[in-house]
Chains A and B, each alone.
Chain A
Amino acid sequence: MVRDNLKEYADRGIFRGFCEEQAGKTRVSFSFLWLTPRRVHLIVDTAKGSMTFKDLLPNVPSKSVIQKDIKRFLKERYDDRLPEHRRVDSKRGEIACTNRRGVLSLSLKVKGEQYRYCLVKIVNLAHELFVHLGDYHDDYMCQNFEARQE
């Protein structure tokens, strides 16, 4: 189901260069071009019940201003004041953000077999995160994603 849903994005032209690779018995790595010239990797692990955009954001020092802002932004995704279609229901999925040596990965822990729900949410979450970075951290986007400085 996850594969079919991801492929639908590719069929619609939203993802480009879409491909997948078995990364273990219970792990599949989907890879595609999307919002920036950097290829993104979405790893779905059915044993752990997780979906992870691995190494989504490079050069994010831990405890930096931008990391704090990203964490605040992600936390706000649970906010009841957001419209339902923009909100993450914590009963169905749990957002996690890990920073390993300055490289940030974005995950959603799938609850109650809500794979379809979580897939849509994590894809939209990544999209909104990039919109947010383009609005408030354009210098970061210039330095790391070939966004134009002008």
Chain B
Amino acid sequence: MNKKGTTKDRGENLQPDTSRRRFLAGAMAGASVTAISAIGSNKVLGSDAATEHSIKIPEEFGMAAKAAPAKVDFPMSGAQVFARVCKDEGLAALFCCPGNYNVINAIAEEGIPAYSGRHEGAMCHAADAFIRVTGEIAASSGTEGPGFMDMICAIASANAARTPLLVLASNMSIYTEDTESGIQLAYQQPTTEGLKKYGKRLITPSRIHEYATYAFRQLRSGVPRPVHIDFPSEVYRAKFKSPADLVYYYDRSKYRTESRPNPAPKDIRAAVDMLKRAQRPIIVSSNGVFYSRGWEALRKFAEKAQIPVAESGAMKGQFPDDNPLSANAAPAALPSADVVVLVGQHCMPTVGEFAFGPEARYIRIDPCAEDIGRNLPIDLGIVSCEKAALEALAEEMPSMKHDAWVAEVAAARKKFDDELDLLYKTGSSYKDAVHPAVIAKELADFIYNGDLPKEQTSVASGGYGIARYTRRWLRGYRPGQIMNGAYQWGAIGPDVGYAVGVAAAVKNGISVQAAHKGHPVICVTGDAGFGYTAMEMETLSKYRLPVIVIVYNNNSWGTWSGNRESSVTSSLHLFQENLRYDKIAEAVGAHGEYVTRPEDFRAALQRCYRIAATESIPSVINCQAKKEFWLREQYPPGSLGKVEPGCMSYYH
């Protein structure tokens, strides 16, 4: 039986609680600051020597939890001035590796929750994920040269996902530019060309406050993308005796506006006219609905006009999947739509990428006129904040009935559910390894159809081949519930990094995660992906972030099936077989499970969940599969494709 939601407040008006004391207290909750080896199957206990060398969380974490934020005032360094703007702007978290010391220390000392991990790229992914499940701004930081370069894939991922990510990196000194003096000199800004909305190498110390405001103006307006600021030492070490030493030292109300573009009334009337004539209209809700916090307006509009809604984008859950109008898991209905309202679809598909048919007409709502009409031809463009447009449509649209169309969507949902049952039945018939359909179905049953409230568990949905299955079963019942990992950029490997960000948001109840604060988080990944960011299991463990990482271990890259014919090259797509990723987890302070039979998966998941919930300890469930599961002729149904938009979508 499903449990009902625990709160009526869906978080639209919640502000992030970003105090460092609260964050650290949460991070340490349930965790001993001494030995943590008495977990799961980690069996190093049993002798004094083993205890002495058992995994410990350093006492500095406990001390940090008790420390009050530093009171910083003039005279201030450039780094401190920048950090002050971050604090004033509500920067919700920092994810970094050591480096860019002055800046990250100044940000942490302002009381902004700061997490330090094992790889700048993974921590940058963490920041991206944190933003995608909270709607708040987070920062990522790396040191000069190598640390910054480690973040590139993550910056690109955030850029593709249209994430308002603040990227910070130190950059040696202006004095040594072009000399190759010492080490780690790099031109940073050209490196992020095409991967950001705005970027600046700060060169004039007295303008640091001004450029900090540039950054937040860009992050908090229009269609978001990363902002990249790099700090030469002349700037972050500069000393300012008073505000008078700074050029453009203004209050927030003077350097940016909270005003948002509202739709032109004639555009709303035109949209209403189109929708009144439509027989099978549909709304596609994407990123912009989440970032503008427009989900309540979306629901009112959809329900008033009885228009089904499918989701796409970098996060899901703005329109609950249990609403009778949800078309998220109704792919067969999509080609029937005759008018499609695309709201906040910041990354547009081209013709043919969405399943809507050739007769469909498109209304696109977006805050940026310059993107409207790109890729997909429009019949009506509305320049507006998504929430404002949805409110206007909810107001202007008459109550309508599309009963036949809603029935068609319901029938398509039923058809899809029947297909899922068939996939599970087939998958569970393979007994010598764990089929992806078993993982997907059992996971969905556990988090949605068991004892847990179905809206409780946030998911970092990643992986490649496994994701083609799990996405079909995963559902969103409230904003920020699903972080759509591979969205658009399709990187393999960020998933454990993403889990750090999602778990940090949930652990501290930031923004829309407030009602679900502290609950365990699920991360889905593959063995290829796990290899990239596995060391962040240590980050999860040391911060006591209770994530259950499900690793689909089929001994290969997802590319093997398409490249297996050549005896020369097929080995390029393979790993050693039966690798023990669960042991890696145990080695860094997490719990590990190795599941080799389908019937054992559910019990392992329950054990991991219990450990996560009661001890705040992360886990890896290493699910032993086989690469041949992707071969349709040998193990039907083999690898699966996708239909977008809806629960399967991740390209757009």
Q: Which residues of A are at the interface with B, using a C-beta cutoff of 8 A?
A: 9, 12-14, 16, 34-36, 65, 83, 85-86, 120, 123-124, 127-128, 130-131, 133-139, 141-143, 148-150
Is B511 among interface residues, defined by CB-CB distance under 8 A? no
The reply to whether A14 and B351 contact each other, CB–CB distance below 8 Å, is: yes
Known: A35-B351, A139-B561, A150-B558. 5 other contacts (CB 8 A): A35-B352, A85-B280, A131-B335, A138-B639, A150-B490
| Identity of the chain A residue whose Cβ is nearest the Cβ of B379 in the assembled complex | A12
Within the assembled complex, what's the spacing in Å between the Cα atoms of A124 and B377?
18
Within the assembled complex, what's the spacing in Å between the Cα atoms of A60 and B434?
31
Within the assembled complex, what's the spacing in Å between the Cα atoms of A131 and B331?
9
Contact of A139 among B336, B355, B357, B639 (CB under 8 A): B639
| Identity of the chain B residue whose Cβ is nearest the Cβ of A131 in the assembled complex | B355
Listed stretches B112-120, B284-292, B640-648; interface member: B640-648
Residues of chain A within 8 A (CB-CB) of B331 are: 131, 135
Is B559 among interface residues, defined by CB-CB distance under 8 A? yes
The reply to whether A137 and B641 contact each other, CB–CB distance below 8 Å, is: yes
Q: Which 7 A-B pairs have the closest CB atoms?
A: A13-B377, A138-B641, A35-B352, A150-B490, A131-B355, A135-B641, A134-B641
Is B216 among interface residues, defined by CB-CB distance under 8 A? no
Residues of chain A within 8 A (CB-CB) of B355 are: 131
> Can you list 25 residue pairs at the A/B interface with Cβ under 8 Å?
A9-B358, A12-B377, A12-B379, A13-B376, A14-B351, A14-B358, A14-B377, A35-B351, A36-B352, A65-B632, A65-B633, A83-B404, A86-B335, A124-B358, A127-B352, A130-B352, A135-B643, A137-B641, A138-B640, A138-B641, A138-B642, A139-B561, A142-B562, A149-B558, A150-B464
The residues in B between 324 and 368 inclusive whose CB is less than 8 angstroms from any CB of A are 331, 334-336, 351-352, 355, 357-359
The reply to whether A127 and B357 contact each other, CB–CB distance below 8 Å, is: yes
Within the assembled complex, what's the spacing in Å between the Cα atoms of A134 and B650?
13
Residues of chain A within 8 A (CB-CB) of B632 are: 65, 139
| Identity of the chain B residue whose Cβ is nearest the Cβ of A138 in the assembled complex | B641
| Identity of the chain B residue whose Cβ is nearest the Cβ of A120 in the assembled complex | B359
Q: Which residues of B are at the interface with A, using a C-beta cutoff of 8 A?
A: 280, 331, 334-336, 351-352, 355, 357-359, 376-377, 379, 404, 408, 464, 468, 486, 490, 492, 558-559, 561-562, 632-633, 637-643, 651
**Which of B468, B559, B562 lies at the interface centre, i.e. has the most chain A CB atoms within 10 A of its CB?**
B562
The reply to whether B562 and A149 contact each other, CB–CB distance below 8 Å, is: yes
The reply to whether B639 and A148 contact each other, CB–CB distance below 8 Å, is: no
| Identity of the chain B residue whose Cβ is nearest the Cβ of A13 in the assembled complex | B377
CB proximity of A114 to chain B, nearest CB, Å = 17
| Identity of the chain B residue whose Cβ is nearest the Cβ of A143 in the assembled complex | B562
The reply to whether A134 and B336 contact each other, CB–CB distance below 8 Å, is: no
The reply to whether B335 and A124 contact each other, CB–CB distance below 8 Å, is: yes
Within the assembled complex, what's the spacing in Å between the Cα atoms of A12 and B633?
41
Residues of chain A within 8 A (CB-CB) of B379 are: 12
Residues of chain B within 8 A (CB-CB) of A123 are: 358
The reply to whether B408 and A83 contact each other, CB–CB distance below 8 Å, is: yes
| Identity of the chain B residue whose Cβ is nearest the Cβ of A150 in the assembled complex | B490
Residues of chain A within 8 A (CB-CB) of B359 are: 120, 124
CB proximity of A56 to chain B, nearest CB, Å = 14
Residues of chain B within 8 A (CB-CB) of A138 are: 468, 639-642
Residues of chain A within 8 A (CB-CB) of B377 are: 12-14
CB proximity of B369 to chain A, nearest CB, Å = 18
Residues of chain B within 8 A (CB-CB) of A142 are: 562
**Which of B358, B408, B562 lies at the interface centre, i.e. has the most chain A CB atoms within 10 A of its CB?**
B358
Within the assembled complex, what's the spacing in Å between the Cα atoms of A149 and B641?
10
Residues of chain B within 8 A (CB-CB) of A36 are: 352
CB proximity of A136 to chain B, nearest CB, Å = 6
Within the assembled complex, what's the spacing in Å between the Cα atoms of A86 and B336?
7
The reply to whether A134 and B492 contact each other, CB–CB distance below 8 Å, is: no
| Identity of the chain B residue whose Cβ is nearest the Cβ of A33 in the assembled complex | B351
Within the assembled complex, what's the spacing in Å between the Cα atoms of A85 and B638?
32
The reply to whether B492 and A127 contact each other, CB–CB distance below 8 Å, is: no
Residues of chain B within 8 A (CB-CB) of A135 are: 331, 640-643
CB proximity of A88 to chain B, nearest CB, Å = 13
The reply to whether A34 and B641 contact each other, CB–CB distance below 8 Å, is: no
CB proximity of B440 to chain A, nearest CB, Å = 16
Within the assembled complex, what's the spacing in Å between the Cα atoms of A150 and B379?
32
Residues of chain A within 8 A (CB-CB) of B352 are: 34-36, 127, 130
Within the assembled complex, what's the spacing in Å between the Cα atoms of A123 and B359?
9
CB proximity of A11 to chain B, nearest CB, Å = 9
Within the assembled complex, what's the spacing in Å between the Cα atoms of A74 and B621?
42
Known A34-B351, A65-B633, A83-B408; judge A131-B643 contact (CB<8 A): yes
| Identity of the chain A residue whose Cβ is nearest the Cβ of B355 in the assembled complex | A131
Known A13-B351, A135-B331, A143-B562; judge A128-B639 contact (CB<8 A): no
Contact of B358 among A16, A127, A133, A137 (CB under 8 A): A127
